[in-house]
């Protein structure tokens, strides 16, 4: 099975299940981030593990650092690289901490989609291209991802519990106050095929729950895991593009939650691009909606009974200003952020290491320059 870039590959070994015990009332619990996390048992879990996201190869970063170039040519090269990033010609690597990076529990439920029961595919970023070997095309709100190595299915009575390390935090200066985003494989029907005119929303739902302590779970109101907004992988390319675009969307930036399915009906694809405003879409969640200041895990549940299965692609953390280059979290990427990176250049400072490579280097400076705002 081919695991797309950004996913943790299953190798058949090297992953260990989290230690599971039972508390005084008989509930099944496991250790996560130093806390006892209560996980549900509905029958026998089809897959249960703790799996850190595969570590990225930072060789490119190291090679850039070792270049024996005079200061000015090196700076000019970084500026040029920043320009390429700004126009989507180069996409900066994402960090494991930008997305759910642990599978704490998975119960397939009674009716998952056959062959779509590998929860590891929900780790890492959402898909941008799908259907290789079948019907290849860019992921758009009219053409969702559908590969068995891209989405995991949850049937009636099932659940998927994903951990975040470090925890998700309620940040009032995040775009629209949104703290994390759930990506499914919902889509819009095309009222003007093949032009890409929004018709009905085809979505399966799914209850979203969060926990700050691993014991008490809070249900997010009025937001469903597989719902608004369907994923958009690229800003350019069209509703049914068969190749990757040049300008990538940002999975860590939410769509304005004021938009509803009813308000989107009749919008053209070009209007939809403007509405998404660079976001990759997904269902945005504000932790303050349930009174939490942080969450260590997100659970997607499907009730028992007669319910459609729900497919999940990814869960992403939202960064202040929608960009991790906003080092000080003030909503702007400016001289203050640049000063932080320059002062820590060549060190392992976590505060300035934007791409979490373990070293503050040229790629971190490039991220600042590419995201520069006023």
pLDDT at residue 224 is higher than 60:
yes
> Scanning the structure block, which residue is given the tokens 């926990």?
211
Determine the pLDDT at residue 91: 52
pLDDT at residue 210 is higher than 60:
yes
Cα–Cα distance list, 294 to 165, 210, 297 (Å): 11, 9, 9
Determine the pLDDT at residue 137: 97
Say which residues have a Cβ less than 8 Å from residue 256's Cβ, sequence separation at least 6.
176, 275, 277
Give tens-digit pLDDT for 231-277.
999 999 899 999 999 999 999 999 999 999 999 999 999 999 999 99
Domain boundary assignment for the chain: 22-55+97-322, 59-91+325-370
Determine the pLDDT at residue 54: 34
Determine the pLDDT at residue 66: 40
Average pLDDT over residues 22-31: 67
In terms of C-beta density within 10 A (0-12 exposed, 13-18 middle, 19 or more buried), how is residue 162 classed?
Answer: buried
Q: Minimal CA–CA distance to 315: which of 276, 273, 285, 278?
A: 285
Determine the pLDDT at residue 334: 87
d(C-alpha 331, C-alpha 303), whole Å: 38
Q: Minimal CA–CA distance to 185: which of 221, 143, 148, 234?
A: 143
Determine the pLDDT at residue 83: 58
Give tens-digit pLDDT for 51-67.
333 333 344 334 334 44
Determine the pLDDT at residue 249: 93
Taking the model in full, what pTM does it have?
0.71
């Amino acid at each position: 099975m081919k695991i797309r870039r950004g996913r943790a590959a299953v190798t058949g070994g090297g992953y260990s299940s989290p230690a599971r015990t039972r508390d005084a009332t008989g509930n099944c619990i496991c250790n996560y981030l130093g806390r006892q996390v209560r996980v549900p048992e509905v029958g026998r879990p089809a897959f249960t593990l703790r799996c850190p996201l595969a570590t990225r190869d930072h060789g490119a970063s190291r090679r850039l650092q070792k270049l024996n170039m005079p200061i000015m040519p090196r700076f000019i090269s970084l500026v040029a690289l920043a320009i390429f990033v700004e126009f989507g010609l180069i996409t900066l690597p994402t960090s494991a901490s930008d997305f759910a990076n642990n599978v704490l529990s998975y119960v397939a439920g009674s009716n998952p989609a056959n062959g779509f029961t590998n929860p590891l595919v929900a780790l890492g970023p959402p898909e941008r291209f799908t259907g290789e070997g079948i019907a290849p095309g860019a992921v758009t709100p009219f053409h969702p991802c559908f590969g068995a190595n891209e989405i995991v299915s949850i049937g009636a009575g099932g659940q998927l519990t994903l951990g975040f390390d470090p925890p998700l935090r309620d940040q009032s200066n995040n775009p629209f106050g949104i703290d994390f985003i759930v990506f499914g494989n919902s889509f819009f029907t095309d009222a003007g095929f093949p032009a890409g005119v929004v018709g009905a929303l085809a979505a399966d739902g799914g209850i979203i729950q969060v926990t700050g302590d691993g014991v008490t779970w809070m249900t997010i109101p009025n937001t469903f895991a597989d719902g608004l907004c369907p994923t958009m992988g690229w800003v350019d390319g069209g509703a049914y593009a068969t190749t990757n675009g040049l300008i990538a969307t940002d999975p860590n930036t939410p769509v304005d939650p004021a938009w509803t399915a009813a308000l989107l009906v009749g919008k053209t694809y070009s209007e939809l691009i403007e509405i998404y405003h660079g976001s990759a879409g997904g269902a945005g969640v504000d932790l303050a909606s349930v009174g939490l200041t942080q969450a260590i895990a997100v659970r997607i549940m499907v009730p028992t009974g007669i319910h459609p299965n729900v497919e999940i692609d990814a869960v992403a953390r939202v960064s202040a200003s929608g960009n991790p280059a906003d080092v000080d979290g003030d909503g702007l990427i400016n001289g203050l952020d640049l000063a932080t990176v320059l002062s820590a250049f060549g060190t392992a400072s976590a505060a300035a290491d934007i791409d979490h490579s373990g070293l503050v280097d040229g790629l971190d400076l490039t991220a600042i320059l590419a995201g520069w705002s006023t």
